[in-house]
Structure 1
């Protein structure tokens, strides 16, 4: 049986694929092809009860167009709304980018395992992001800053293609003044002399950080080409493999392990076994990266 609300057909209540209606209350343009959507659920009870861990994702549906998996970019400490960072790369994301504030969309989830924040408490955090990988790591970063007393040193390494492609640039600039956070920012190329920061790959920072590897969780998210190089650097520094965490943002579709699109190895699915994996998983399943 289908339910109709505001001329939108929804699956029967309790269905695995049932989205909740959400309203876009704010849209912020981050880059030419990337926007940040702030979403509030139409159901007020859901607004107060919806919880998630940093690193989890939701399935966002544009009514009449399609559905996409999107990592949550906000911190669970931000109650009543969620923030989703979406790059325009296909039909559904193009339709989403055409929507205006106050538009209705569908949200189901949260899905995936997320980061083990309870285990991370009392440890250092080293966040290594590349490109759009800053979007899911933003959730963990903002959570760590909101719960700052729960963590030791917090370091963000972030690499972008060029200064114009730095995601959340204004936020990062503001955060750089905090004394309880170290930000190391780099770009691959800087054609303008206005850029006074570092030029080079993000792994060039590893020799300059002073952390107790045994007391540190290293978290990586970005283009797959960077994973092997970052993991290699971390292993050279003797970071424990179980504390090297990789967030995979690829191939997911249904979000619940039914469609098989995100199958990796023999038995694992990114959407239910991940999207966060540790280094042992990567070594066991090389095709993961």
Structure 2
């Protein structure tokens, strides 16, 4: 009898263990697979994504926002932007969604050990960085100084507020936050995230920069880092494209000879500069 080949497009049910409202349009869902074997063997790298499916709505790629140091329960921070994510935002504890993955390459952990790290995030782009940041603090002795720069549209749009406050208390860590437009109670910085350079003290020769956010933000940040003297291989960023299958077959996410879903979504600047229309 011929052995059945597993269906790589088949999602597995995952139950929602908790829902946390981060902002008016972003919620963090804590999930665990209903199948014990899947739950016990599920692993991922910071920076990888999964494909979430909702019956009669479709499927979408979502970055994992929790650390792999605790992967029995994993977290997805989802922004409400369309019909599928709008339907997910209606879900509550105990509901289920389909999950397959993880996909993509994730952040190059092997190249980051022993280095100072500079994280620069904007908006919901802090979600995949959160996975990496939590991993770093869980293995604190293996990394150097940590600097986290974060920009949001408004104080109301700041995600992971409790995490940001907690990271500030970590050893050899600094967190700086800015918003595009403050309100009356806001006493912090205003302006784009690049506004925070003047308050940042990092050594490009010993620091790896990890960037994630809106494409226009990434472009400005990356070119500023180059001006500061960061090496091309020490600037690491994510590239967003319309990923569909997750396995490099459909071609939706192709950029030149690269497929974002398998060669990315994490690339160094050296790689990005060879990819058309990325920066």
Flag whether TM exceeds 0.5 (same fold).
Answer: yes
After TM superposition, the structure 1 = structure 2 runs for residues 102-251 of structure 1, keeping only pairs within 5 Å, are 102-192=94-184, 194-251=185-242
Aligned residue pair count: 276
Deviations 1:20-59, CA, capped at 9 Å, x for gaps: 1111111111111111000000111222211111000000
TM-score normalized by structure 2? 0.95
Cα drift, residue 286 of structure 1: 4.0
Whole-angstrom distance in 2 between the partners of 1:217 and 1:86: 27
After TM superposition, the structure 1 = structure 2 runs for residues 23-172 of structure 1, keeping only pairs within 5 Å, are 23-172=15-164
Match of 1:259 in 2: 250
Following TM superposition, the consecutive aligned residue runs of length 4 or more in structure 1 with deviations greater than 3 angstroms are none
Whole-angstrom distance in 2 between the partners of 1:205 and 1:238: 17
Unaligned stretches of 5+ residues in structure 1? 1-11
Whole-angstrom distance in 2 between the partners of 1:286 and 1:64: 35
Match of 1:283 in 2: 273
Whole-angstrom distance in 2 between the partners of 1:178 and 1:63: 42
RMSD: 1.4
Q: Would you say the 8 A contact 1:206–1:233 is kept in 2?
A: no
Whole-angstrom distance in 2 between the partners of 1:256 and 1:159: 32
Whole-angstrom distance in 1 between the partners of 2:239 and 2:219: 13
3-state SS, counterpart of residue 288 of structure 1: coil
